Amino acid sequence: MRITITRILLLVCFPLLVLSQEKDFQTWMSISATKKIAKKTNVLFKEGIRFRENSTIRSKVFSDLRIKRKYNKHFSFALGYRFSNVWDNRLNLNYNNRIYSDIYYKKKIKKRFLLNIRARWLTQGNINGYSDVFRNKSSISYNIKKTKLQPEFSLEYFYYFDSMTIEKLRYTFILSFPISKNLDTDISYRIEKDIITNKPEILYIIDGKISYSF
């Protein structure tokens, strides 16, 4: 009897759970350039564009400037600014600002595994108001022997100080491949999910990046 009731509940609740989620496939693309300006210090400039609603509508275009300094073989620090054009669901254009600071930690595990942790504190918004967010991303990569491929998996959470809770999770699988000494490319598959709303939004994202250093 208990098994029968459980099956009935699953049949009733499962469609509701499916309907309560909003899903979208998005495409993100960016290109960046990094320049060493001093010993252990470099500056990075990035341009990016994002498409939503099954990658048919432009949702964001941004420019990002960041300066990063290496403290030692494990720790680095960075400061950055991002300006974004953001289109909402009604295609109204908003201009957003973001100021952020990063702490990076990396450590080699055995021979071919590399652990990376990035802690980011950011303030973002526009004339309508600003909010503070703490983001922590942990990733582990593996250098495949005798190839240039380097797969990586990362998990990132977003803690919003307005609500005092973690509102979003992001899972990413990345495959990096150096084209030349100064040119790198990677492609990522990402799942991003809201976790506290009644109608959580789940994004499935393909992200392509090209990076140049000189």
**pLDDT at residue 20 in the model:** 55
pLDDT tens-place string over residues 60-102: 999 999 999 999 999 999 999 999 999 998 999 999 999 999 9
**Which ranges in the chain belong to alpha helices (H)?**
2-19
Spatial distance between the Cα atoms of 104 and 122, rounded to a whole number of angstroms: 15
Question: Comparing 17-21, 145-149, 164-168, 171-175, which segment has the lowest mean pLDDT?
Answer: 17-21
Q: What's the pLDDT at 79?
A: 98
* DSSP-derived 3-state class of residue 130: strand
pTM exceeds cut of 0.75: yes
Tell me which of 102 and 6 has the higher pLDDT: 102
